[in-house]
Amino acid sequence: MGEILYLILVDPFVQMAELPDFFLQVLWEGFVSGILYALIALGFVLIFKASGVFNFAQGIMVVFAALSLVGLWEAGVPAFLALALCVLVMLGLALGVERLVLRPLVNQPDIILFMATIGLTYFLIGLGEFIFGGEPKTMITSELLLPTGSHAWEVMGGVVIFQEIDIAAAVIAGVLMTALGLFFQNTRIGRALRAVADDHQAALSVGISLNQIWAIVWFAAGIVALATGIMWGARSDVSFALQIVALKALPVLVLGGLTSVPGAIVGGLIIGVGEKIGEIYWGSMIGGGIEGWLAYFIALAFLLVRPQGLFGERIIERV
């Protein structure tokens, strides 16, 4: 018994202290995947905030955006033109979803809208494979002028290896989040969006077009999906299996609170770092591979204390 307690309570920290450089590496890896989780979660939050739709299709939008990019490039379009066209594709998707799915389903219960986005997921899987084929593709990292090298940083008697693409991912994610933040804070559309998030009817009554706002947030979520797709595609490759990884954004989402942009970022980092540390220092005790569910348990633990997530709006219930 004492031995088990030692393994759980003491040994992991001894390990951390023994190999500080390795611990730093773990933190960095957790940070990078946390950023990527946060990006996916950000797409969810934007849409949930503005329209109350729990957009399950965010994961497949990531795949679809990345596939379109690589597909266009493979068809002979120059990389940056392909990127621009991809933005147009996401715009078309946003308009299509708003017109064909959201508008007819306005005022339906949440679960119906949720199911509609799962239907959308199936549709996009079929469409993506139909157009681009099912084979995994290699992300055009260097064509997009993204760095691919790596740096070893000697510290504390060891090395920490940084991938340039990971650093780029962190920078791009930071820029994207800041830009979105500024956009929603300081522009007319941004203010309209926040008005819609607060109260649909009040927003309507002051002349804000709900449909327009929805199309804009879906477009913004599409841009975020494109960025995520490029980053994650560069880390592994672009295939439909990525969609499963995107499920990781769900615990991030509930941990941060469904309606909070900072929540998505903080939640992403907590989950990213937490699950890495958990897997590496505690996971091997029970056979490893616990990353699949650890994130959900971390989120669950937080939820039991704060049922609305870290930054979510307080749930007030009245009879």
Partner 1 sequence: MRLRQALLGAAALAVAAGAPAAPVLAELYVPLLTYRTGAYAGSGIPIADGMHDYLAMLNARDGGIGGVRIAIEECETGYDAQKGVECYESTKGKGALVYNPYSTGITLQLIPKASVDRIPVLSMAYGLSAAAVGETFPWIFNPPDTYWDGASAIIKYIAEQEGGLDALEGKKIGYIYLDAGYGREPIPLLEQLAQKYGYELVQYPVPGNQMQNQSSQWLNVRRDRPDYMVMWGWGAMNPTAVKEAAKIRFPMEKFIGVWWAGGDDDARPAGEGAKGYKTLNFHGVGADYGAIQDILEHVVKKGQSKVASSDKVGENLYNRGVMNSVFIAEAIRTAQELTGKKEVDAVDVRRGFENLNITEERLEEIGLEGFMKPLQITCEDHSGHNPVYVQQWNGQRWEPVSEWFEPMSDVVRPLLEQAAKDYVQANQPWPERAEPCE
Partner 2 sequence: MLYRETGQFRTSYAADQAIFPLRQDRIGIAAIALAAALAVPLLADDFFLNTIMIPFLIFALAAIGLNLLTGYAGQLSLGTGAFMGVGAYACYKLTTFFPEVNVLLLILLSGFFSAGIGFVFGLPSLRIKGFYLAVATLAAQFFLDWCFNRIGWLYNYNASGAIEVPTREAFGIVLTGPTATPLARYMAVLALVALMAWLASNLVRGRIGRSWMMVRDMDIAAELMGIRLLRTKLLAFAVSSFYCGVAGAMMVFLWLGAAEASSFGINVSFQVLFMVIIGGLGSLIGSFMGAAFIWILPIVIRFVPAMLGLDVGAATVEHVSFMLVGGLIIFILIAEPHGFARLWQVAKQKMRTWPFPY
The binding site for partner 1 (CB under 8 A) comprises 19, 22, 25-26, 29, 32-33, 129, 133-136, 138, 148, 150, 161, 163, 232, 235-237, 239-242, 244-245, 247-248, 275-276, 279-280, 283-284, 287-289, 291-292
Q: Which among 217, 68, 215, 212 has a CA at the least distance from the CA of 140?
A: 68
Give which of partner 2, partner 1, none residue 119 binds (C-beta under 5 to 8 Å, depending on kind): partner 2
CB of 132 to partner 1, least distance (A): 11
The verdict on 4 binding partner 2 (CB under 8 A) reads no
Two structure tokens written together for 39? 């990006």
Strand-pair category, 158-163 with 150-155? antiparallel
The site string for partner 2 over 265-304 (x = CB under 8 A, - otherwise) reads ---------------------xx-xx-xx--xx-xx--xx
* Distance separating alpha carbons of residues 87 and 180, to the nearest angstrom: 16
The verdict on 141 binding partner 2 (CB under 8 A) reads no
The site string for partner 2 over 80-109 (x = CB under 8 A, - otherwise) reads --------------------xx--xx--xx
The verdict on 50 binding partner 2 (CB under 8 A) reads no
* Distance separating alpha carbons of residues 311 and 306, to the nearest angstrom: 9
DSSP one-letter string for 100-140: IIIGGGTT--HHHHHHHHHHHHHHHHHHHHHHH-SS-B---
Q: Which among 259, 239, 257, 260 has a CA at the least distance from the CA of 302?
A: 257
Binding range to partner 2, per CB under 8 A, among 170-178, 192-200, 266-274, 310-318: 310-318
Give which of partner 2, partner 1, none residue 251 binds (C-beta under 5 to 8 Å, depending on kind): partner 2
CB of 193 to partner 2, least distance (A): 20
Taking CB under 8 A as the criterion, the residue among 79, 87, 91, 115 binding partner 2 is 115
195 contact partners, CB below 8 Å, separation of at least 6: 202, 203, 206, 208
* Distance separating alpha carbons of residues 148 and 166, to the nearest angstrom: 9
Two structure tokens written together for 245? 């990884």
Give which of partner 1, partner 2, none residue 317 binds (C-beta under 5 to 8 Å, depending on kind): partner 2
Taking CB under 8 A as the criterion, the residue among 30, 71, 222, 251 binding partner 2 is 251
Whether residue 223 contacts residue 122, with contact meaning beta carbons closer than 8 Å, is answered with no
